[in-house]
Chains A and B, each alone.
Chain A
């Protein structure tokens, strides 16, 4: 993004806030705080990309993924890198799929409803105005009315359906399942929400949402909230990797240490807001022994159950074309015959060839002639997948490994496994997806077990002994430390998290402005 002419702050100047991370958690609040006149500096570990320079290629897209190594353990180890972890100004929204369901109101009080998992310390109704604001600003495309939420209004009509969406729509129609165009944070028309933000051209259906959007149709933070933040006076420093803090005797943070250009710098600050995601945020806290008194940092790591079902069709699907997940059903947020708490969303899937082939080779276990023959079916295959509720669990935890990275920081070790609720949900969803794909005419159906997203580890809550931050994201232990990213989620919610993180970000900004001196 264009940073020329942005306001600059001296490192010895005590800025009001340092924000670490520029993704869905950091960007909206950066814009809010800057708009209110605060001096704000954002530190982003990754580079500043020019969207036009993305290559339309999965291998070249490695540049927007966080490829520093993490160790993945537990009974269902999760893949990181391209699966869910980004780098660069805009963070993970650069490779984000831009699928923007709102969280289901019932998911916020799951324990009350089912006795399982935990309730969030906030109510869905509190988030609705923030959802509305985010959607109006980033430009969501979708069907109004939306079958599962009468109040939801999309500023833009749906994006084009692709082959997998057509297959799923026809099958759902046959089976009596309600399905419709997906809520997508991709503009289906040229769009300018604010004079401070350059116009974004309508989606060209190239299919490369996960490799970086060249046209800026996708609402990644670098084309939405971050230009707004810069226009309001924020400074964004790229390739600035925070790895230390300075604190006064009372334990308040007084400065942030970051590595840039091969050497360390110190930015003085009055407040720190960590927005580095559910792996790097707790990793930093554990590394710095910051806010760790409750023993909660790193606990309750959560990823979504994200099982996919694949099949081969008589039709030519060429699933790389178009918005990848252009159909949704929310009919399974509370299935009538469920033997589990919570629910799941179902979406159609078009996937670029390397990502798909990697899933085939790893997840289907094919090799030899069976593998090469199947890969050549690329233009005939289509997928369907879920995003399912995942409950917090003691065994799922992020800790620091003995191995260190180039900065000398210990690598993250993530242990993650499904509990019985996830297993039961997965069985249910897999059966539903098989039925839909059989009704769609698929043959050679197979199931890819997959975990998506990174959540939990610094959860919000009212009880300081059982959570890391309060319901607004403020640390229970360090007065001028705040957290805003997926790490504050107490449970996963069935919805894909980015939209909710953005709404929380605006809410945290409001609380910060009200509560800080």
Chain B
């Protein structure tokens, strides 16, 4: 008698059900993995493969046959993720065979839109799959190597190469020339099914910025996690981290779109060779919330988060956890080179200022600062800014509060604008000033008023409002 959740697992192009063994081991008995060979791959290599809908039919039949009694989930890696998205749409549309879908796990997923991929590489992959055995072996090795952030274990590596070589070349080509190019944006629309989206910071075309631009907008409830050092074959590369993340979202599914999406034009620039590798890696890392260590007490963190919602409101969907990032910065002990002599060291100043604000809220409203409504919080912050908050024991003095609130505003905007979604929101193209070849950096050819280079199109358009901001 078990109602343990079931995770149906769909592999990447050239992979097979075997890809999921390490994850299944890490998930242990609490979650049963049912890994499925898609048509044309693994043990289904005798079949010719097919389009996304045909692959979804194949999986739906397996799910129906399995008759999961408890909640069930679909995980997809790359190609498999696009099939998972199609299944979720059917489930939400009321397909009785797919009732009970509780969530999606999209790992370096191929998005609903045609997959971004250089045409040259697509042609080369289509060509070598039918080549002589020696070429096939060499190219399969190179294909696996190009899709991982760090070397796999020799066994995993050998099995993965073997899977690529046993794939049905027709299925391989069907995906590259067909499935990957299918446009499912309209059909997928916005899914309500909770989804865990995971991207590898070392991935190529389907890395964090592509997920944020092409996948997140289709998900009303999602969490986006970026795995540093990981490439494209996430179930093979990070089964331990994935198991932990999956357990977390099964226990507490995301209720909202948690991470900010990126405009496609900005994501495309970020992925292009106009952006240097160091910057791309840094921007990708900033799409991930820090793991700590932290130093603020839980109530202080809650007050800080409430403050930041008022100081720098984020329209969403999705939000950068500025409080978490600032808390991590405080714990790191790093700073910007100076502080007001009137204030104690940063971590102490934050802690005491936040307690002062909270005490003022309790004294005047009988509730914590975080529990006040927006106008109530604004009123207290206004008093903090002008040095009119009362003094409390272990707090900071009214005039120190003015200094601290200025520090907070500065740190809030600097933290916010470090994130690519914020740079995109202000229409900034400067990340594209040049890639890795320092002897051939393009910079800007045009610097004058109302001049715009072709590559800046779609990014510079910032919302224009009229009149003074206040």
Which A positions have Cβ atoms within 8 angstroms of B? 51-53, 55-60, 62, 65-73, 77-83, 85, 160-163, 166-167, 201, 203-208, 214-215, 315-318, 320-322, 352-354, 357-358, 360-362, 365-380, 401, 403, 413, 415, 443-444
Given contacts A362-B410, A444-B468, contact A77 B282 (CB under 8 A): no
Q: Closest Cβ of chain B: how far from A143's Cβ, in Å?
A: 17
Whether the pair A206, B444 counts as a contact (CB closer than 8 A) is yes
Q: Does B142 contact A (CB under 8 A)?
A: no
Whether the pair A354, B338 counts as a contact (CB closer than 8 A) is no
Contacts of B346-400 to chain A: CB distance below 8 A: 378, 381, 385
Whether the pair A206, B434 counts as a contact (CB closer than 8 A) is yes
Residue from B341, B439, B443, B445 in contact with A77 in the complex, judged by beta carbons closer than 8 Å? B341
Q: Does B430 contact A (CB under 8 A)?
A: yes
Whether the pair A362, B427 counts as a contact (CB closer than 8 A) is no
Residue from A51, A71, A163, A214 in contact with B338 in the complex, judged by beta carbons closer than 8 Å? A71
Residues of B contacting A444 in the complex (Cβ-Cβ under 8 angstroms): 467-469
State how many residues of chain B have any CB contact under 8 Å with chain A.
Answer: 69
Q: Can you list 30 pairs linking A and B with CB atoms under 8 Å apart?
A: A56-B276, A57-B279, A57-B282, A67-B337, A69-B345, A72-B338, A72-B339, A72-B341, A73-B342, A161-B447, A203-B443, A206-B430, A207-B433, A208-B430, A215-B438, A321-B430, A322-B444, A353-B428, A354-B417, A357-B413, A358-B413, A366-B409, A367-B310, A368-B313, A375-B413, A376-B465, A377-B465, A379-B427, A415-B341, A444-B468
Q: Does B278 contact A (CB under 8 A)?
A: yes
Whether the pair B313, A52 counts as a contact (CB closer than 8 A) is no
Query: CA A316 – CA B462 in complex, angstroms?
Result: 10
Whether the pair B438, A52 counts as a contact (CB closer than 8 A) is yes
Residues of A contacting B276 in the complex (Cβ-Cβ under 8 angstroms): 55-56
Of B24-32, B258-266, B448-456, the one with at least 4 CB within 8 A of chain A: B448-456
Residue from A353, A373, A377, A403 in contact with B417 in the complex, judged by beta carbons closer than 8 Å? A353
Q: Closest Cβ of chain A: how far from B277's Cβ, in Å?
A: 9
Residues of A contacting B153 in the complex (Cβ-Cβ under 8 angstroms): none
Q: Does B406 contact A (CB under 8 A)?
A: yes
Q: Closest Cβ of chain A: how far from B59's Cβ, in Å?
A: 42
Which B positions have Cβ atoms within 8 angstroms of A? 275-276, 278-279, 282-283, 286, 310-315, 334-342, 345, 378, 381, 385, 406-407, 409-410, 412-414, 416-418, 423, 425-431, 433-434, 438-439, 441-450, 452, 456, 460, 462-465, 467-470
Residue from B334, B447, B464 in contact with A380 in the complex, judged by beta carbons closer than 8 Å? B464
Q: Closest Cβ of chain A: how far from B322's Cβ, in Å?
A: 12
Given contacts A352-B430, A379-B426, contact A69 B337 (CB under 8 A): yes
Whether the pair A166, B418 counts as a contact (CB closer than 8 A) is no
Q: Closest Cβ of chain B: how far from A409's Cβ, in Å?
A: 16
Q: Closest Cβ of chain B: how far from A397's Cβ, in Å?
A: 12
Q: Closest Cβ of chain B: how far from A184's Cβ, in Å?
A: 13
Whether the pair B406, A362 counts as a contact (CB closer than 8 A) is yes
Whether the pair A321, B279 counts as a contact (CB closer than 8 A) is no
Residues of A contacting B425 in the complex (Cβ-Cβ under 8 angstroms): 375-376
Whether the pair B341, A160 counts as a contact (CB closer than 8 A) is no
Q: Which 4 A-B pairs have the closest CB atoms?
A: A81-B337, A204-B443, A322-B447, A52-B438
Q: Closest Cβ of chain A: how far from B241's Cβ, in Å?
A: 25
Compute the total of residue contacts between A and B using a CB distance below 8 Å.
Answer: 222
Whether the pair B447, A205 counts as a contact (CB closer than 8 A) is yes
Q: Closest Cβ of chain B: how far from A199's Cβ, in Å?
A: 11
Whether the pair B409, A379 counts as a contact (CB closer than 8 A) is no
Whether the pair B452, A316 counts as a contact (CB closer than 8 A) is yes
Query: CA A349 – CA B431 in complex, angstroms?
Result: 19
Whether the pair B418, A354 counts as a contact (CB closer than 8 A) is yes
Residues of A contacting B412 in the complex (Cβ-Cβ under 8 angstroms): 361
Residues of B contacting A208 in the complex (Cβ-Cβ under 8 angstroms): 430, 433
Query: CA A320 – CA B417 in complex, angstroms?
Result: 14
Residues of B contacting A81 in the complex (Cβ-Cβ under 8 angstroms): 335-338
Residue from B429, B441, B449, B462 in contact with A377 in the complex, judged by beta carbons closer than 8 Å? B462
Q: Closest Cβ of chain A: how far from B34's Cβ, in Å?
A: 44
Residues of A contacting B310 in the complex (Cβ-Cβ under 8 angstroms): 367-368
Residues of A contacting B431 in the complex (Cβ-Cβ under 8 angstroms): 56-57
Query: CA A204 – CA B442 in complex, angstroms?
Result: 7
Which A-chain residue is minimally distant from B447 (CB atoms)?
A322
Whether the pair B445, A205 counts as a contact (CB closer than 8 A) is yes
Which B-chain residue is minimally distant from A352 (CB atoms)?
B430
Whether the pair B434, A163 counts as a contact (CB closer than 8 A) is no
Residue from B342, B413, B418, B434 in contact with A56 in the complex, judged by beta carbons closer than 8 Å? B434
Residues of A contacting B427 in the complex (Cβ-Cβ under 8 angstroms): 376, 378-379
Whether the pair B413, A360 counts as a contact (CB closer than 8 A) is yes
Whether the pair B410, A376 counts as a contact (CB closer than 8 A) is no
Query: CA A161 – CA B414 in complex, angstroms?
Result: 28
List 7 other contacts, CB 8 Å, given A71-B339, A360-B413.
A56-B433, A59-B418, A78-B338, A161-B447, A354-B418, A365-B409, A374-B469
Residue from B279, B381, B407 in contact with A367 in the complex, judged by beta carbons closer than 8 Å? B381
Residues of B contacting A161 in the complex (Cβ-Cβ under 8 angstroms): 447-448
Most buried by B among A62, A204, A317: A204
Q: Closest Cβ of chain B: how far from A514's Cβ, in Å?
A: 38
Most buried by A among B341, B412, B428, B434: B341
Residue from B278, B334, B417, B447 in contact with A53 in the complex, judged by beta carbons closer than 8 Å? B278
Query: CA A302 – CA B432 in complex, angstroms?
Result: 38
Residues of A contacting B445 in the complex (Cβ-Cβ under 8 angstroms): 205
Most buried by B among A167, A320, A415, A443: A320
Residues of A contacting B311 in the complex (Cβ-Cβ under 8 angstroms): 367-368, 371
Residues of B contacting A203 in the complex (Cβ-Cβ under 8 angstroms): 443
Residues of A contacting B414 in the complex (Cβ-Cβ under 8 angstroms): 59, 354, 357-358
Query: CA A66 – CA B337 in complex, angstroms?
Result: 6
Query: CA A78 – CA B336 in complex, angstroms?
Result: 13
Whether the pair B406, A60 counts as a contact (CB closer than 8 A) is no
Whether the pair B463, A79 counts as a contact (CB closer than 8 A) is no
Whether the pair A80, B338 counts as a contact (CB closer than 8 A) is yes
Whether the pair B448, A166 counts as a contact (CB closer than 8 A) is yes
Whether the pair B449, A370 counts as a contact (CB closer than 8 A) is no
Whether the pair B413, A167 counts as a contact (CB closer than 8 A) is no
Which A-chain residue is minimally distant from B403 (CB atoms)?
A77
Q: Closest Cβ of chain B: how far from A91's Cβ, in Å?
A: 14
